[in-house]
Amino acid sequence: MPNLNQLKVGDALPERNHHPTNVSLFLYNAAIWNPHRIHYDERYTTDVENHPGIIIDGPLQGDWLTQAVINWLGDDGQLVEFEYSNRRASILGETLTSGGSVTSISGTTVALDIFIRNEAGEVVTPGNAIVRITA
């Protein structure tokens, strides 16, 4: 968890690899009640919607971004606000990496850049967040 006295602009959040499977994507789409076939029907996804493979849900990547922030914060702060943009589709089989860095510190309010990056090093889902550190 971050120590506000030692925190500085440019500090990196711990990175985490995400390797979704057919099973984890099934459970996620069941949990959010999403029946879109691009998340479980490979032939439909490639033949009809012209994607190269099963699509990893955009909001699932958004969730991982919130986790990058929350797991870094621990119990010593709150995620107040965040945003992200799904810029590029990611395909089942890819390993994605979540992470971020500190962009500004004002009192107990800290702004962060957050990202989901693919194996090619491209940021597929950029975002930012504002947290309040309470400790």
Partner 1 sequence: MEKLINDEIRSWIGRADKPIRILVSRRDIVKYSIATEQLNPKYLHGDEAPPMFLFGADRALTRIPDLGPDGLRQDSLLPDLPLKRVMAGGVRQRHMRPIVPGDTLLITRSITDIYEKYGSSGALIFVVYDISVTSEEGELVMQQTQNRIIR
Applying CB under 8 A, the residues found at the interface with partner 1 are 18, 24, 27-28, 30-38, 41, 44, 48-49, 55, 57-60, 62-64, 66-67, 70-71, 78-86, 89, 125, 127
Q: Which amino acid is at 62?
A: G
- Cβ 117 to partner 1 shortest distance, Å: 16
Nearer Cβ to partner 1 (96/102): 96
Please give the Cα distance from 6 to 80 (Å, whole number): 21
Nearer Cβ to partner 1 (7/88): 88
- Cβ 101 to partner 1 shortest distance, Å: 20
Nearer Cβ to partner 1 (5/33): 33
- Cβ 133 to partner 1 shortest distance, Å: 16
Please give the Cα distance from 129 to 102 (Å, whole number): 10
Q: What are phi and psi of 113, to 5 degrees?
A: -95, 140
Nearer Cβ to partner 1 (89/105): 89
Give the list of residues 6+ apart from residue 109 with CB closer than 8 angstroms, or none. Answer: 80, 130, 131, 132, 133
Beta-bridge mates of residue 94: 92
